[in-house]
């Protein structure tokens, strides 16, 4: 039984509309995992239009996801930094449950690992999270792992 009054995401309620999940609350931990799952989905979608998208269309489905990962030179600092900025922009634009998002290259593990810090908004409180997005060996997907809760500054 859920110990929290956190409502599942719209997507989760839509998927489970014929079950009790669509009406009941879930634990904060389950809510956090659902957000991370949705972030992973976001980061593994590829934008249908690569470049030249008009400003008016930046927050639309045409800008959802990331550019093709193979277009980034992850062997270089500048390529990894460019991908970190793209990850940060995608999360800020398309994941409203996260605020104060910052993404950096976790250079101690190589240029294919990105440290993501964000505040997760769980009304009426906010929690600081840190997790990693790791480019998989096939260089076409990102995997989210290592969730940590941090003290708010």
Task: Using pLDDT thresholds of 50, 70 and 90, give the confidence band for residue 7.
Answer: low
Put residue 57 in one of left, alpha, beta given phi > 0 → left and psi -120 to 50 → alpha.
Answer: alpha
The pLDDT score that the predictor gives to residue 60 is 81
The percent of residues above 90 in pLDDT, for the chain, comes to 34
Just give the CATH number of 10-150: 3.10.450
88: exposed, middle or buried (Cβ count in 10 Å: 0-12, 13-18, 19+): middle
CA dihedral 111, 58, 43, 46 (to 10 degrees): -100
51: exposed, middle or buried (Cβ count in 10 Å: 0-12, 13-18, 19+): exposed
Distance of alpha carbon 32 from alpha carbon 80, whole angstroms: 26
How many Cβ atoms are within 10 Å of 122's Cβ, its own excluded? 16
Query: Which residue has better confidence, 153 or 116?
Result: 116
Q: What is the pLDDT of residues 71-128, one digit of tens each?
A: 888 888 899 999 999 999 999 999 999 999 999 998 766 678 999 999 998 877 888 9
User: Rounded to two decimals, what is the model's pTM?
Assistant: 0.81
């Amino acid at each position: 039984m859920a110990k929290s009054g956190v409502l599942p995401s719209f997507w989760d309620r839509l998927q489970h509309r014929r079950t009790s999940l669509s009406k009941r609350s879930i634990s904060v931990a389950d809510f956090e995992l659902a957000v991370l799952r949705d972030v992973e989905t976001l980061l593994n979608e590829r934008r249908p239009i690569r470049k030249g998208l008009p400003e008016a269309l930046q927050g639309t489905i045409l800008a959802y996801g990331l550019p093709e990962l193979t277009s980034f030179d992850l062997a270089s600092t500048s390529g990894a930094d460019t991908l970190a900025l793209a990850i940060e922009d995608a999360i800020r634009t398309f994941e409203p449950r996260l605020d104060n998002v910052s993404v950096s290259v976790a250079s101690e593990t190589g240029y294919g690992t990105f440290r993501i810090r964000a505040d997760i908004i769980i009304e009426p409180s906010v929690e600081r999270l840190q997790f990693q997005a790791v480019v998989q060996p096939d260089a076409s997907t990102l995997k989210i792992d290592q969730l940590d809760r941090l003290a708010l500054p």
